[in-house]
Amino acid sequence: MVNLTDGLTVHHASDLLASKEISSVELTRAVLDRVAAVEEKIGAFVTVTDELALAQADEADKRIAAGEAGPLTGIPGVVKDNMCLAGTRTTCSSRILENFVPPYTGTAVQQLLEAGVIVVGKSNMDEFAMGSSTENSAFHTTRNPWGLEYVPGGSSGGSAAAVAAGEGLFALGSDTGGSIRQPASFCGVVGLKPTYGTVSRYGLVAFASSLDQIGPLTTDVTDSALILNAIGGYDPADSTSLKRELPDHMAELDRGVKGLRVGVVKEMMAGGIETPILDAVRKAAEVLEHAGATIDWEASLPSTKYALAVYYILAPSEASSNLARYDGVKYGYSWDGEGTMWEGMERTRGAGFGPEVKRRIFLGTYALSAGYYDAFYKKAQQVRTLIRREFEEAFSQYDVLLTPTSPTAPFKIGARTDDPMAMYLSDICTIPVNIAGVPAISLPCGSSDDGLPIGLQLIGPSLGEATILRAAYAYEQATDWHTRRATV
């Protein structure tokens, strides 16, 4: 009997499948039964693909029987609903794409399918990945499995909640300013944002093209390495894809951290971070020090104080350009009343886009306008270069940088919906990573006074996924936070 409430990992399930203790069909049915049992409470999905999943599971069992299976063959996972899967609705949790069915599959999803992964559904998200709580979905709010009155984070809140609730053994998310790591922190799971260009963005519906990156949400660090091995690599269909040979991220997990230089970023351990989070992160640094790492408590990234402002100029600017394609002509929702083409386009977007998406389109269009381009967009790009250079300088001194993932524990549903600035500040620790394009991972390191998860963020140099996975694994093996489960 498969018990999904105990946090069955991908690598353990892979062993069970390989030894034929369970079949993929049995495992997939167990996951779908779990979805049926808790989904009404959690709301992690936009679409549950049960028929597709069982058909894929049957094929996976045939591959296993024929000796053609890999480590992910027969494993049920979840895909964020901004990644195309041919023949399956892909909505971005927006009314404007509510009935859109793509004719092709995105590269990262296709790589999982080729590895034999079972897709049990498409997860809920903030509309077009714009938000930090999954409250901006046009369909419903996802709830945190650790406390149903709390948000799961965003924009990949549905993916994180699904993993935390046992509705999938792993999930794919996308991270533009922290949208994998922050919900991973809120839901007590592991979330990895790879180096920009490591995972193909082909088939990912664009929010901000120079910041977006696909990555995994998993139960533990080993699973993150396994999934990254499957989805990473060069893709000629993505012009920003890095031409490099992908290392085996499983190979160095257990090397330990002896001699590793870890810098605790002092600007992200200052005012605005809740005391329980500061305490948990300091204790996490001490765990790494005890394991053999060298800790410097005074690492500095002084220009990161401008990162939030830079992000909320660059990301909306790119969004205003990317979302211009939704005109009601080619695909998606189209207003069908009388009037001119321009009136039809205006009414299509007015009815199809939600308030947060409209807000960011306005911000971006303003920043790109002729009178303000130099003052806002050009200046933000210059500061972005400065932030990147500071990260490069920091990594000449340190192998890993350590920070909180979020300045706060999960907050209650509705607490910040009327205060966009308070919502934007949720990503203050994660946004600099996207601006610099470097990899980072969030993993559980404590709990708040209310028993809600706290996340630790480990940041690496460009192409330094193996290093942060190694450090994260060492921390995970020395603690038991990753073994704790939501009680939903």
Cα angle: 240, vertex 154, 411; to 5 degrees? 150
Give the residue numbers annotated as catalytic, written as ranges.
80, 155, 179
pLDDT in tens, 423-452: 988 999 999 999 999 999 999 999 999 999
Secondary structure of 102-125 in the HEC alphabet?
CCCCCHHHHHHHHCCCEEEEEECC
Confidence at residue 15, expressed as pLDDT on a 0 to 100 scale = 97
> What are the structural domains of the chain?
4-253+475-483 (3.90.1300.10)
- Say yes or no to pLDDT of 31 above 80: yes
CA 170, 453, 49 angle in degrees (round to 5)? 25
Strand partners, 165: none
pLDDT band at 468 (very low <50, low <70, confident <90, very high): very high
Instruction: Summarize pLDDT for 287-342 with one digit per residue, the tens.
Output: 999 999 999 999 999 999 999 999 999 999 999 999 999 998 888 898 888 888 88
The pLDDT-based confidence of 399 (bands split at 50, 70, 90) is very high
Q: What is the pLDDT of residue 337?
A: 84
Q: Kindly report, residue by residue over 3-30, the tens digit of the pLDDT.
A: 776 789 999 999 999 999 999 999 999 9
The secondary structure of the chain, three-state, reads CCCHHHCCCHHHHHHHHHCCCCCHHHHHHHHHHHHHHHHHHHCCEEEECHHHHHHHHHHHHHHHHCCCCCCCCCCEEEEECCECECCECCCCCCHHHCCCCCCCCCHHHHHHHHCCCEEEEEECCCHHHCCCCCCCCCCCCCCECCECCECCCCCCHHHHHHHHCCCCCEEEEEECCCCCHHHHHHHCCEEEECCCCCECCCCECCCCCCCCEEEEEECCHHHHHHHHHHHECCCCCCCCCCCCCCCCCCCCHHHCCCCCEEEEEHHHHCCCCCHHHHHHHHHHHHHHHHCCCEEEEEECCHHHHHHHHHHHHHHHHHHHHHHHHCCCCCCCCCCCCCCCHHHHHHHHHHHHCCHHHHHHHHHHHHHHCCCCHHHHHHHHHHHHHHHHHHHHHHCCCCCEEEEECCCCCCCECCCCCCCHHHHHHHHCCCHHHHHHCCCEEEEEEEECCCCCEEEEEEECCCCCHHHHHHHHHHHHHHCCHHHCCCCC
Contact 39, 45 (CB under 8 A): yes
Q: Report residue 421's pLDDT band, with 50, 70 and 90 as the boundaries.
A: confident
Q: Determine how many CB atoms are found less than 10 A away from the CB of residue 92.
A: 29
Residue 1 reports pLDDT greater than 70: no
Q: What percent of the chain has pLDDT over 90?
A: 91
Strands 400-404 and 440-447: unpaired
The strand order across the sheet containing 213-218 reads 45-48, 118-123, 76-80, 170-175, 213-218, 190-193, 440-447, 453-459, 400-404, 261-265, 294-299
Is 187's pLDDT higher than 80? yes
User: Cβ(44)–Cβ(162) under 8 Å?
Assistant: yes
Instruction: State the pTM of this model.
Output: 0.97
Q: What is the pLDDT of residues 206-230, one digit of tens each?
A: 999 999 999 999 999 999 999 999 9
Planar angle of CA 289, 291, 295, nearest 5 degrees: 20
Helix axes 379-394, 307-322, angle to 10 degrees: 120
Would the pLDDT of 203 be above 70? yes
- Report the C-alpha gap between 438 and 197 in whole angstroms: 10
